[in-house]
Amino acid sequence: MTGDLLNSFTVGPDESGRFGDFGGRFVSETLMPLILELEKEYENAKIDSNFWKEMDDLWANYVGRPSPLYFCERLTNHFSGAKIYMKRDELNHTGAHKINNVLGQILLARRMNKKRIIAETGAGQHGVATATVCAKFGLKCVVYMGAHDVERQAPNVFRMKLLGAEVIPVTSGRGTLKDAMNDALRDWVTNVEDTFYCIGTVAGPHPYPEMVRDFQSIIGKETKTQMLEQEGRAPDTLVAAIGGGSNAMGLFYPFLDDLKVSIIGVEAGGKGVNSKMEHCASLTGGRPGVLHGNRTYLLQDDDGQILEGFSISAGLDYPGIGPEHAWLHESGRVNYVSITDKEALTSFQLCCELEGIIPALEPSHALAHVGKIAPKLPSDHIICMNMCGRGDKDIFTVAKALNFDMDFS
């Protein structure tokens, strides 16, 4: 694999699901036949034009793609440096990029005749997207969500219930995304016959990291075309927030081999990336390990026990990161940085006030980093960030953080 990769950053994973040393298939024997079956089905679907025709139709008429590429005039003036663009994936049906991937996986589930869909969710956006597409296709939907996240993303819990999904709060661990993923995997090994596990990010055992990346790559492909139309060239810098890393992989992937494009992933810095581990910056503050079916960078202690991490943003609150990011980090192609809760909150407000866009807390991290680099760059430098979700789900969390009283009675 290494030989090929000298020429391209887009050929991974290899046949054993590895991106360099990362990725793989670290699952129990019970699940192994299931992920091999899924891999086979995905390989067939990938080259089936009918599959992509159906995807394109749903993307256009159900999700509302292509999402706009928007020039942020006031943010650009505010920082008085680089030109700032946003890829508006928050305008998708259900309010985030998550549905791009869910549609692909549910169409696969239909091909495989699986009638029961399970998913894990952190911010609830993947859960909402899954519940939505299941409602559309008449499939049973069960969503695992950490009990702590159920609390801080309450609007999304209600949304999922309205859409007919069963939401199961997970109390093990600290009750966040990692724990939800454990319980979803436990459900899957128990219900092997009829159940399809719809993973929400570019993590998990092969083929999930590859498959989710491919479905999310629509973001980067559209950005490439739209930027060419609006600016006549590729952007100079891409910026995206990283939980597991799916919106980031989606934006980055089509640009990986264009080495003139500088690429930056933004991890959640929580209270600050220090030895207290009150953050979720797996690449900045973690080291390689094996969890949830793949080898990647993880927050862990000296004994290889997984740490809980901390972030104000439920969608970024995960102690790992997709294996392809781990590899892009080690190969140096992508630069990974972190942004604290406080910085993200400031950018959240700035985006509301200057652009009339209420962003999710996740892309607020990306915007905060844009705010750090834009002033130092020339006015002909083009930055494109992924506005991967809208902030409706976060208003209670933000109100609390800003000591704003939401009781209007």
Partner 1 sequence: MARIDDTFSALRANRKKAFVAYIMAGDPDYNESKELLMGLPEAGVDIIELGLPFTDPMADGPTIQLAGQRALNSGQNLEKTLQMVQDFRSKNNVTPIIIMGYYNPIYSYGVDKFLSKAKLVGVDGLIIVDLPPEEDSELCIPAKNIGLNFIRLATPTTDENRLPAVLKNTSGFVYYVSITGITGVANASSANVSPEISRIKKETDLPVVVGFGIKTPEAALEMAKVADGVVVGSAIVEKIAQGESNKSVLAFVKSLAEGVHDA
Ligand X SMILES: Cc1ncc(COP(=O)(O)O)c(C=O)c1O
- Of 6-14, 122-130, 156-164, 188-196, the window that binds partner 1 (rule: CB under 8 A) is 188-196
> What is the biggest distance separating any 2 CA atoms in the chain, rounded to whole angstroms?
66
Q: How far is CA 324 from CA 138, 208, 245, 332, in A?
A: 33, 11, 9, 12
Binding at 24: pick from partner 1, ligand X, none (beta carbon under 5-8 Å per type): partner 1
In the complex, minimum distance from the CB of residue 318 to partner 1, in angstroms, rounded to a whole number? 12
Q: What is the DSSP string of 326-354?
A: HHHHHHTSEEEEEEEHHHHHHHHHHHHHH
388 is catalytic: no
Nearer Cβ to partner 1 (304/375): 304
**Of 299-307, 335-343, 359-367, 383-391, which part binds partner 1 (CB under 8 A)?**
299-307
Residue from 83, 126, 152, 279 touching ligand X (CB under 6 A): that is 126
Query: Residue 255: which residues within 8 A CB-CB, separation 6 or more?
Result: 220, 224, 234, 235, 238, 261, 263
- Peptide bond between residue 323 and the one before it cis (omega within 30 degrees of 0): no
Binding status of residue 328 toward ligand X by CB under 6 A: no
Side-chain-side CA neighbours of residue 5 (13 Å):
17
CB of 64 to ligand X, least distance (A): 16
Q: Find the binder of ligand X among 17, 20, 220, 245 (CB under 6 A).
A: 245
Member of 192, 228, 395, 399 binding partner 1 (CB under 8 A):
192
Please tell me the distance from the alpha carbon of residue 80 to that of residue 327, in angstroms, as a whole number.
34
Query: Residue 356 is encoded by which pair of tokens?
Result: 């009339």
Name which of residues 155 to 174 contact partner 1 (CB under 8 A): 172-173
Q: Which two tokens stand for residue 392?
A: 């409706």
Q: Which is nearer to ligand X, 157 or 316 (CB)?
A: 316
Q: Is 175 in the site for ligand X (CB under 6 A)?
A: no
Q: At what angle do helices 49-58 and 98-111 cross, to 10 degrees?
A: 140
Check residue 360 for interaction with ligand X (CB under 6 A): yes
Q: Does 298 bind partner 1 (CB under 8 A)?
A: yes
A 10 A CB-CB count for 52 gives 15
Decide if 97 is catalytic. yes
Q: How far is the CB of 330 from partner 1 (least distance, A)?
A: 17
- The helix/strand count (H/E) of the chain reads as 17, 14
Should residue 293 be labelled a site residue for partner 1 when binding is judged by CB under 8 A? yes
Mark 300-339 with x for binding to partner 1 (rule: CB under 8 A) and - for no binding: x-xxxxx---------------------------------
Give Cβ neighbours of residue 251 (< 8 Å, ≥ 6 apart).
87, 219, 220, 223, 238, 240, 384, 386
Q: Please, which residue, 20 or 66, has the CB nearer to partner 1? A: 20
> What's the Cα-to-Cα distance from 11 to each of 109, 236, 266, 371, rounded to whole Å?
26, 23, 24, 33
Give the type of residue at 232.
G
Selected catalytic residue, list 97, 148, 292, 325: 97
d(CA 178, CA 278): 15
Q: Are 409 and 356 within 8 A, CB to CB?
A: no
Touching ligand X, residues 47-106 (CB under 6 A): 96
Q: State the binding partner of 399 from partner 1, ligand X, none, CB within 5 to 8 A by kind.
A: none
| Minimum CB–partner distance for residue 204 and partner 1 (Å) | 11
* Closest CB to partner 1 among residues 192, 395: 192
User: Does 205 engage in binding with ligand X (CB under 6 A)?
Assistant: no
Phi and psi angles of residue 84, each rounded to the nearest 5 degrees, phi first: -110, 125
Residues annotated as catalytic are 72, 97
Binding residues (CB under 6 A) for ligand X: these are: 96, 122-123, 125-126, 201, 241-248, 315-316, 360, 362, 388-389
Q: Which residues bind partner 1 (CB under 8 A)?
A: 16, 24-34, 172-173, 178, 182, 185-186, 189-192, 289-293, 295, 298, 300, 302-306
